[in-house]
Structure 1
């Protein structure tokens, strides 16, 4: 048996076809025999090679099995083709593979696209009960559930349901095309087959390289019968007993051009205890997000094994244990600057509770390490501390490259690091101006420039959050430097939002009001003695404690802002009121700006 990074191939007989099966993660050692088996089923028009990057990542912990679906890759095709791709026969193939690779233990099933459509059949059919421990569905619905979804909306139409039907109907244009006789085969064996790899690479922003298998034209021509043999019949006559008999994890890319997220609105009815994950990407996640998929599969398989000991009963604790934002942020990589305390630390914790991986950045190594340590305890599957001064351009460049190399491209960037400075314009020295702009503005510019470039190059979207302040739109005679820096951050965020939208990257500016953090204890007051400095810090800290608006509320609003892709998120009543007043009566705000602060 080959090592974990290589695959051993074998052939498995199923009726009149020979299936090509590849196995990773088995070296013949005694402990290998105890590894859970994970079976990955590919979609259309792919072959098993589409899973290679995911399989290599899983092979260190699991016995990983890939197989070419009949008529694809190196597996033989049924004769005749018509009727040879029915879901019942595909179920025969799965059982034959499962019996060959894991005869004594049930397997964990993962499917993408048509592999997921098959997987739903396997996970709900009576004759497969007891052979599947868990099922992870990626970008592929059950045809039975889809049929019930259509019938429900046709029997009980509302404007919203009709719009959902029409929207999914438009997305399914290729299904109609594949039902036409002869033409799909001619197209795939001709120009479409030659152009498909380049088309897919351009649309999905795939890394350079050849298409996973040279048999694409033949695979796609054979695979047209997956649609012809199954779609119309199952949509017209969906099974009434299509209930999952194993825990299910649903992974849906929010940018899928073929499948609406609304298709899964009623899925809890069919899969009790469903765990849902959403990733901002397009359709071909096994190729564009192999690391993300491998992490989610690993987590789900491990949780199922730990909870059920390899049984097929739904395991407790598989849902709702990563916080309310787990569906969106679970497994994503989130970098937070200024994470050693205050809003930054609370934000890192909120993402950790949602199951995100955390990079906690702060100029104080001890507080950054503490944040990372606590983030792991709160549920982050990985959390790392980095010590960086965000105003240092070269240090930020090194950080960006280190994070990309060691952990991957950041999915959510939170530019939160900032310092406070109070004092009139005439009392503020040029050095104080430079320092507050270096941290509050240039720190944000460095983060946006470096990490946004990585997001754009990856081509799978992302999100940037910049912490501004209500001071960005609330003028004050006592905060000219601080307010200027935050107003610049707010405008930078608006400009970036316009520029990066075409790349699927959202930008949100968070504008807190008076929040009880330690920024008041470290803020500087221009033009006063050190003794007066300490008195003013103490008094401002006391006022903020009396106000007592916790940073955890800001973190919650921040996560909601990312979910909604909000442009601006004012937090605290005074921040929302000031923003409304700035729009309705800017003259009143200018009058208030002349007042001395209560210090």
Structure 2
């Protein structure tokens, strides 16, 4: 696609501006960081130009733009003035959507938090660059409340920001760039950032760009962090967290809602530079989804929370899980064989502040699950979290359990999980933004019992499937957790089947087991809380109840004892 060049004057500096795409389309303004030029956006710009007017410019002191006479010429207020000047030149009658990375994000925050910025800036997508004023308040809050967690955050970010101190030392940083680092930069990107080499990057002007750009740090870091200002904004902001960023920690954005009422949080499984250079379609997709929502005047989906899919959510642990994510203002797509029950769960999700959507799906039907995944992706997007919860209970020894009963248990408890992981896992991997899959196993997965032959086998398979899948999806930034509840008070006991019993005996046995589980009194809400926590922490295996934890510990200490206990006629 043709790229045209123009020059825009701002505060005595001539800025080189590059455009592509249809000027009648919404304008996306891409702002590069240090030590890059507009060329770092080449692949992303090409993707977005299909349906946007894409504008990039070399910031002052970089690439083909003019160079300030002194350090004061790199102050944030001048950089923000440059952004507004370019926006006014390329889109005088319509607000622009700003997308920025690294130091481009820092200077764009300066513009976004200017009073009245919402009149010129339609939205802001930021990657790997906090507002320095917000960061100053973040540091002060942690120093005033020096909890172990706050002190750890300060220490970790301090280690990640080692280079900032180096940039303030006389002669050191410029000398390093001049006498070796510029030449080695392609290897740094390849070996540390996992960026594939490509023609034209790094740019031919890297050495002088890097040396001049050091003044960005020296002119702005210490003043902003020492005396942070109150900098709220009314511009809708999309914060894209790069999971493998070596320089910007995810917890730097904690409390950002204080400054940004309309905040959408997204994640990308990328290093500091690989998102732009190796995952351009994923970045473009995030930007496109956000700008489309803004252009249509739609409210943020579930106030920017995650998109979660929960199977078997008509009751029990599935419903409790859906409601737990609703409290995080998530969009929750629920499915169940009982559509009315699923709809009730979706209504409760909405009442709790999320956005609920219900579907009828048989998880044991592979083609139906594939169709469900495509429907979700089309109507709501690729989920951030999948909870494979749907399951059934069955009790019977191996010799009592018929082939038909085996088939029914495995179809739902194992194949239902396989279908969910395959259908949604492929979408997550293709999207390239990470995610998390939660599979409901059971304490029966590692607690053998002669009267739970089919059920325990199905859950043990789910546990091993989760381990295998976790290894496969790790490179995609997708976590996998297996949840192992014990005795939980849900209606699964009222639908559990028993081998070798007639209908009257079945009903009596179901009533007795349900009463026992009710006396135990462990609510599904506690399991749901552990599921939400597992998604947040990435914990691989989560025994939930006391008996589940005890059985897992005993299985490690004395497997022979568990095998002997399996002979007991439980229930």
Counterpart of 1:351 (choices 303, 309, 325) is 325
**Pair 1:341 & 2:315 matched:** yes
Distance in 2, Cα, partners of 1:379 & 1:153: 30
Q: SS where residue 277 of structure 1 aligns?
A: strand
Quick check: 1:477–1:595 contact (8 Å CA) kept in 2? yes
Between 440-449 and 461-470, report the one with greater CA deviation. Answer: 440-449
Shift of 1:559: 1.0
Distance in 2, Cα, partners of 1:290 & 1:173: 33
Counterpart of 1:420 (choices 393, 397, 417) is 393
Distance in 1, Cα, partners of 2:294 & 2:520: 42
Judged with a 3 Å threshold, the aligned counterparts in structure 2 of structure 1 residues 42 and 367 are, in CA distance, closer, same or farther, namely farther
Q: SS where residue 174 of structure 2 aligns?
A: coil
TM-score by length of 2: 0.75
**Pair 1:243 & 2:230 matched:** yes
Distance in 2, Cα, partners of 1:112 & 1:240: 24
Judged with a 3 Å threshold, the aligned counterparts in structure 2 of structure 1 residues 350 and 280 are, in CA distance, closer, same or farther, namely farther
Residue matched to 2:160: 168
**Pair 1:429 & 2:402 matched:** yes
Residue matched to 1:138: 127
Between 580-589 and 518-527, report the one with greater CA deviation. Answer: 580-589
Distance in 1, Cα, partners of 2:51 & 2:348: 27
> Which runs of 5 or more structure 1 residues have no equivalent in the other structure?
1-5, 307-317
Judged with a 3 Å threshold, the aligned counterparts in structure 2 of structure 1 residues 157 and 354 are, in CA distance, closer, same or farther, namely closer
**Pair 1:20 & 2:6 matched:** no
Judged with a 3 Å threshold, the aligned counterparts in structure 2 of structure 1 residues 148 and 429 are, in CA distance, closer, same or farther, namely closer
**Pair 1:362 & 2:336 matched:** yes
Between 583-592 and 6-15, report the one with greater CA deviation. Answer: 6-15
TM-score by length of 1: 0.72
Pairing 1:69-218 to 2, within 5 Å after superposition: 69-70=58-59, 77-79=65-67, 85-99=74-88, 110-123=99-112, 137-143=126-132, 160=152, 163-164=155-156, 167-169=159-161, 179-180=173-174, 183=177, 199=190, 203=194, 217=203
Count of paired positions: 552
Quick check: 2:177–2:207 contact (8 Å CA) kept in 1? no
Distance in 1, Cα, partners of 2:68 & 2:471: 54
Shift of 1:129: 10
Per-residue CA distance 1:183-212 (angstroms, 9 max, x = gap): 569987x8967x99x959993699xxx88x
Judged with a 3 Å threshold, the aligned counterparts in structure 2 of structure 1 residues 229 and 129 are, in CA distance, closer, same or farther, namely farther
Quick check: 1:428–1:526 contact (8 Å CA) kept in 2? yes
Judged with a 3 Å threshold, the aligned counterparts in structure 2 of structure 1 residues 23 and 497 are, in CA distance, closer, same or farther, namely closer
Shift of 1:118: 0.4
Distance in 2, Cα, partners of 1:545 & 1:112: 54
Residue matched to 1:521: 494
Residue matched to 2:454: 481
Residue matched to 1:533: 506
Judged with a 3 Å threshold, the aligned counterparts in structure 2 of structure 1 residues 80 and 38 are, in CA distance, closer, same or farther, namely closer
Per-residue CA distance 1:414-451 (angstroms, 9 max, x = gap): 22221111123332112212221222123323333454
Q: SS where residue 494 of structure 1 aligns?
A: helix
Residue matched to 2:267: 279
Shift of 1:596: 3.9
Distance in 2, Cα, partners of 1:53 & 1:347: 40
